[in-house]
Amino acid sequence: MLTLLKLLKDGRFHSGEALGAALGVSRSAVWKQLQHLEAELNLSIHKVRGRGYQLAEPLVLLCADEISANAPSSAWPVYISDSTDSTNAEALRLVEMGQVAPFLVLSEQQTAGRGRRGRKWVSPFAQNVYYSLVLRIDGGLRQLEGLSLVVGLAVMQALREVGVKGAGLKWPNDVLVGQKKIAGILLELVGDPADICHVVLGVGVNVNMRKAAEVDQQWTSVQLETGRAIDRNYLVACLGLQLQAYLHRHQGGGFCAMQAEWEQSHLWQGKPVSLIAGVSQIDGVVLGVDGQGALRLSVDGVEKTYSGGELSLRLRDDS
């Protein structure tokens, strides 16, 4: 089925006879595969008598060679799949199998993409970027301090590089344009953080997605913001270069070396917010973050810090 898709990806008309000859199957078998493409991958295919079949829009698939050509200095091994449950889950499986870090896992589609706090990450085929970079951490919890915020800076800069000038940050690990989410970050750890462990830097970016009824929050995409479709290979390359630079800075000086830069890009800086932890709610005003990436809030005039993977930050209604 995906071989047929690669024949159609140029967006031109192809006759059923030519497609059948290329695939070594009958025209009726081509027709069945086309139906599966539409149903399973939610692709729109034009069918015109006398001309054949055409994808409604040309498709640029992920390609390790294209990514490398755009970012030759970011030479991580790249594993690309047509579909997986989650790139983070696949990355962790590769670690268990002994794959040496660093390496990068990408997929055209996720069937069980995950966001923070158990949320589903909507992952249509060949529209967005589902990205998991695996790093090995040798002895030193300091190397993990503020790491999700560092990744956020890299994602934000990559988005600005491809034209999303309004991209900014929301603590702890969302990238927004205004109030709309364009990217999210999910870090997962395996091993002993006090000795040797692996951390998966999971990034999901809405790239060419234009509609998604199942998303339960305000969202946007690179294409919606820029008015044009983006080559995802170029965006992956940009993200790799930005991550390489920010991770190098983090390794040398910790998160505190980027604390001020992060605060300058925090869209909710100085805003009245509610911090949600389970059934508890803390109201305060955002002061910034500390040198470890914890949130600094003014609560009834007293500065307090908060950190943890299960916290959620929301703007207050009176903001």
Q: How far is CA 168 from CA 100, 230, 308, in A?
A: 33, 19, 21
Whether 314 is catalytic is yes
Q: Looking at 12, 32, 314, 316, which residue is catalytic?
A: 314
110 is in an annotated binding site: yes
Q: Cα(38)–Cα(192) distance, rounded to whole angstroms?
A: 45
- Give the three-class secondary structure for 280: strand
Q: How far is CA 166 from CA 47, 129, 156, 175, 207, in A?
A: 39, 19, 9, 10, 15
Determine the distance from the C-alpha atom of residue 137 to the mean position of all C-alpha atoms in its chain, rounded to a whole number: 22
Helices in the chain by DSSP H: which ranges? 2-8, 16-23, 27-41, 64-70, 87-96, 147-161, 222-226, 232-253, 259-264
Q: How far is CA 145 from CA 157, 158, 202, 253, 289, in A?
A: 20, 22, 16, 11, 12
Q: Looking at 116, 117, 211, 271, which residue is catalytic?
A: 116
Whether 142 is catalytic is no
Tokens of 23: 């695939």
**Integer-rounded Cα radius of gyration of the chain:** 22
- Give the three-class secondary structure for 10: coil
206 is in an annotated binding site: no
116 is in an annotated binding site: yes
Tokens 């040198």 correspond to: 291
Q: What are phi and psi of 197, to 5 degrees?
A: -145, 170
Q: Looking at 181, 232, 249, 304, which residue is catalytic?
A: 181
Closest CA to 2 of 82, 103, 106: 82
296 is in an annotated binding site: no
173 is in an annotated binding site: no
Whether 170 is catalytic is no
143 is in an annotated binding site: no
51 is in an annotated binding site: no
115 is in an annotated binding site: yes
Supply the residues annotated as catalytic.
116, 181, 314
Q: From the annotation, which residues make up the binding site? A: 86-88, 110, 114-116, 181
Q: From the annotation, which residues make up the binding site for biotin? A: 86-88, 110, 114-116, 181
